Amino acid sequence: MKNTILFMLLFLFSCSTMSPLKNVDITGLSYDGKSVFLNNEIIATLGAIELAYDGGELVREATFILSSAKYNEYAIKIIKCVQENTKLKSNNIKFEVEVELKNE
């Protein structure tokens, strides 16, 4: 019984630590440091970079602005694309990506 409970706790812990972006497909997206492209067409541009002190740690926040409301559905894919293509992990500063959605 103890082994079963331990196994269930380990399973729940491993599920909770999985990245929500793990299975997001970013095929066709690219990032050049300023803009995100879908099949070579700009769909989002870097609007701002902020440095914040949040919860006892320094955090860089990059905000991307979509070029059109038709790209709202790509917000999560944009976050993953930028995260994977950005190596701003120096000085132990966390890097967060935000996408500003457009109203239709």
Closest CA to 99 of 82, 87, 89, 85: 82
| Whether residue 72 has pLDDT greater than 50 | yes
Tell me the average pLDDT across 86-101.
74
Sign of the Cα pseudo-torsion (7, 8, 14, 18, in order): positive
Note the pTM of the prediction, 2 decimals.
Answer: 0.76
| Whether residue 61 has pLDDT greater than 80 | yes
Q: What residue spans define the domains of the chain?
A: 22-100
What is the per-residue pLDDT across 3-57, written as a single tens digit (0 to 9) for each? 444 344 444 444 445 678 889 999 999 999 899 999 999 999 999 999 989 888 8
What per-residue confidence (pLDDT) applies to 75? Answer: 95
Q: What is the CATH number of domain 22-100?
A: 3.30.70
What per-residue confidence (pLDDT) applies to 45? Answer: 97
What per-residue confidence (pLDDT) applies to 91? Answer: 56
